[in-house]
Amino acid sequence: MLRLSEIAESMRIAVSSVRANLMRSILTTSGIVVGIFFVVLMGVFIKGLDSVWEKTISIIGKDMIYVDKWDWAGGHSWRKAETRKDITYEQAEALCLRLESPELAMPLARRWGGSIMVGNKAMNCSVMGTTSMYGQTPAGEIEFGRFFNPMEEQQGTNVTVIGFGVAKTFFPDGDAVGKTIKIKGYPFRIIGTIAKRGFLFMDFIDNQTFISLEAFKSIYGFQDRSFEVGIKAGNERMLDLVRDEAVGVMRQIRNVPPGAVDDFSINEMKAFDSQATAIRLGIWVVGIVLTALSFVVGAIGIMNIMFVSVTERTKEIGIRKAIGARRASILMQFLLESSMLCIAGALIAIPLVQIVVFSIRFFLLNILEMEAIEAVSPLLPVDLLAIAIGVSIVVGLLAGFLPARRAALMDPVDALRFE
Amino acid sequence: MTSDAIILITNISRSYTMGDEIVRALQDVSVSIGKNEYIAIMGPSGSGKSTLMNMLGCLDTPSSGSYFFNGVDVRTLSDDDLADIRNKEIGFVFQTFNLLPRASALKNVELPLIYAGLSSDVRHERAVEALTSVGLESRMSHKPNELSGGQRQRVAIARALVTRPSIILADEPTGNLDTKTGQEIMALFQHLWEQGNTVIVVTHEEDIARHAHRIVRMRDGLVESDGPNDAKTI
């Protein structure tokens, strides 16, 4: 057992040794600085991604499910979905009418890449035909104006509610409401704009414009089109129940025989999680490789300088052993020194990362105007700092172990004789 | 042999391998040292006196033979146990002083007490006491390079005394000092002996050995003679 006095002494020696060779210590620790820099930066990126993603999901609605011919997860299931029959308007409407558990259910008709124009300016965006209920979902939250009402819905009035991206493209000053927009050449009066909903790679959901199903029918027609049904469960706990009911009712409507697989998909926001996971994984892999490389280089540097330090202080080790220092005490003296070098590295790296994170955040937020970044804290999270210091201590202990062991096992007679 | 011997060495040998050659530094050496003795171990260089001192100081262990320190068989002890004995029972004084250059006199003297696990208050008190006893109360905050050779050796002696050891083991303690300072240091050893300490001085100088009460003469790894010092000066 090491005594408290020995630990304090080792600490004192370590500090004075690092201070006595300040320039050497700083140079030695540079590998660790780089390693800690990457580890913390990677952590901030992933945390930032998570919080932006979480914000997106919660804005669009965690309790929303979409019954669709297509599976949002894509990939293999996409080809399978190709062979499915379209969901007709009648089927979508029947589902909405027969569902009992959800708060809201509405048919959705979607036209990808619809051409819309204001004056001579055009953009492609998705045109969505839906009911007035859509205005009550989180995805349809109004920023200015209002959503269309049941009357306008039934009459197929040429009114539209535009998404944030559309509003920003055509009316950057925020004065969209009351203006006219042309959808496939037909004039529509803008009665509302939707607040920003999408962040990161979900930005596309801001590039939508909403019209009533009646209006949609007269512009694009209902033939050769697969409808979706948007369902708002009410809260997350209801999701399972609502999903089960939707599956059961839809199977009846589509005459799916018992035992056969569904010929439609139930999509949730979670489907996009895999994309977030892939990005997160990518950052991890790059970060881990960079971090590991710099830590290995840093650790070798520290090990090297610790061997030098042990050799330089052979005589001192001999003196300490002669007057009663035990092996563990000498071991700890050098382990503390190498850890301290690494902690110093962390302490240099942390302010650097903080400056970089602050700058990147400022750039994204104010120059690129990525409002989503607001969800990311400008200050480094405490747990990341703890991890950074913890990792640096571990690297210090690993790098210092062999030199410290050599010192601890030194023969006192030989060490005293060393000049 | 006295039964209250602090040190009881019987037929110890120590050999080293240097390249292909085996060097027999000590052969069949037997020595018994009792409490409050003042002994000089003498011999020319290569006689094995330094090896014997390393044995006595528990810095090294014999290849064969037995060594009892205060009744404990040293050969059975681990490195850490030996470190504990060096810490508590033996006070070393070296020819080259062997002080830590970056630490003050006071810190140097406190050092053994750190490894003994004493609290900083006790350490400070005892280090001040030891430095005062060697006449350095006004030099406590000085670093070794701010002290004269004689003063450095006094710091080393204070460091040797501070743990109140069973023996004080001095290896050529005046080797790096001028004659006058050497005399002062030897007077200090005499004083320590008078206070009841056991003092062992390893030297090749007759002048120094003359202060001791008993002289063990070494030659070629063997004890040449071991008896009272008839030419004792003090």
Mean pLDDT within A127-135: 92
Quick one: which of A224, A225, A192 has its CA closest to A209? A192
Tokens of residue A139, six digits: 């995805």
User: CA angle, B16 as apex, B26 and B58 as ends, to 5°?
Assistant: 65
Residues B1, A154: Cα–Cα separation, whole Å: 122
Q: Which amino acid is at B216?
A: V
Q: Does residue B118 belong to the interface with chain A, where contact is any CB pair within 8 Å?
A: yes
Answer yes or no: are the C-beta atoms of A9 and B103 closer than 8 Å: no
Give A325's contacts in chain B (Cβ within 8 Å): 83, 115
Task: Let me know if A283 is exposed, middle or buried by CB neighbors in 10 A (0-12, 13-18, 19+).
Answer: middle
Q: Which residues pair with B31 in a beta bridge?
A: B9
Confidence (pLDDT) at A201 = 60
Q: Do A5 and B112 touch (CB under 8 A)?
A: no
Confidence band of B2 (pLDDT split at 50, 70, 90): very low
The mean of the pLDDT values for chain B is 90
- Judged by DSSP in three states, B81 sits in helix
Q: Which residues pair with B66 in a beta bridge?
A: B10
Confidence (pLDDT) at A77 = 65
Q: Do A326 and B123 touch (CB under 8 A)?
A: no
Mean pLDDT within A103-132: 90
Residues A380, A383: Cα–Cα separation, whole Å: 9
User: CA angle, B6 as apex, B1 and B10 as ends, to 5°?
Assistant: 50
**B115 → closest Cβ in A324, A411, A416:** A324
**B83 → closest Cβ in A4, A318, A325:** A325
Q: Does residue A3 belong to the interface with chain B, where contact is any CB pair within 8 Å?
A: yes
The mean of the pLDDT values for chain A is 87
Confidence (pLDDT) at A210 = 94
Residues B221, B49: Cα–Cα separation, whole Å: 8
Give B87's contacts in chain A (Cβ within 8 Å): 323-324
Give A16's contacts in chain B (Cβ within 8 Å): 102
Residue whose tokens read 């109004």 = A142
Quick one: which of A346, A345, A344, A309 has its CA closest to A330? A309
Residues A82, A126: Cα–Cα separation, whole Å: 20
Residues B107-136: tens digit of each pLDDT? 999 999 999 989 889 999 999 999 998 899
Q: How many CB pairs under 8 A join A and B?
A: 75
Q: Do B117 and A5 touch (CB under 8 A)?
A: yes
Confidence (pLDDT) at A199 = 65
Quick one: which of B73, B68, B169, B117 has its CA closest to A328? B117
Residue A70, pLDDT > 90, answer no
Q: Which amino acid is at A68?
A: D
Q: Which residues pair with A104 in a beta bridge?
A: A232
User: CA angle, A87 as apex, A86 and A93 as ends, to 5°?
Assistant: 160
Confidence band of A378 (pLDDT split at 50, 70, 90): confident
Q: Which amino acid is at A223?
A: Q
Complex confidence, ipTM: 0.92
Residue B1, pLDDT > 50, answer no
**% of chain B with per-residue pLDDT over 70:** 97
Answer yes or no: are the C-beta atoms of A295 and A35 closer than 8 Å: yes
**A324 → closest Cβ in B86, B99, B102:** B86
Rounded to 5 degrees, φ, ψ at A138 are -60, -30
Confidence band of A200 (pLDDT split at 50, 70, 90): low
| Helix (H), strand (E), coil (C) string for chain A | CCCHHHHHHHHHHHHHHHHHCHHHHHHHCHHHHHHHHHHHHHHHHHHHHHHHHHHHHHHHCCCEEEEECCCCCCCHHHHHHHCCCCCCHHHHHHHHHHCCCCCEEEEEEEEEEEEEEECCEEEEEEEEEECHHHHHCHHHCEEEECCCCHHHHHHCCCEEEECHHHHHHHCCCCCCCCCEEEECCEEEEEEEEECCCCCHHHHHHHCEEEEEHHHHHHHHCCCCCCCEEEEECCCHHHHHHHHHHHHHHHHHHCCCCCCCCCCCEEEEHHHHHHHHHHHHHHHHHHHHHHHHHHHHHHHHHHHHHHHHHHHHCHHHHHHHHHCCCCHHHHHHHHHHHHHHHHHHHHHHHHHHHHHHHHHHHHHHHHHCCCHHHHHCCCCCCHHHHHHHHHHHHHHHHHHHHHHHHHHHCCCHHHHHHCC
Residues A226-258: tens digit of each pLDDT? 999 999 988 888 888 999 999 999 999 999 999
Confidence band of A75 (pLDDT split at 50, 70, 90): low
Residues A326-360: tens digit of each pLDDT? 999 999 999 999 998 898 888 899 999 999 988 98
Q: Do B102 and A20 touch (CB under 8 A)?
A: yes
Q: Does residue B87 belong to the interface with chain A, where contact is any CB pair within 8 Å?
A: yes
Q: Does residue A329 belong to the interface with chain B, where contact is any CB pair within 8 Å?
A: yes
Q: Does residue A11 belong to the interface with chain B, where contact is any CB pair within 8 Å?
A: no
Mutual angle of helices A273-312 and A30-60, in 10-degree steps: 160
pTM: 0.73
Confidence (pLDDT) at A277 = 80
Residues A390-412: tens digit of each pLDDT? 988 999 999 999 999 999 999 99
Among A1, A2, A3, A5, the residue to mutate for chain B (most B Cβ within 10 A): A5
Mean pLDDT within A28-47: 86
> Which residues, in sequence order, are CB contacts of A295 under 8 Å at separation 6+?
A31, A32, A35, A391, A395
Answer yes or no: are the C-beta atoms of A313 and A60 closer than 8 Å: no
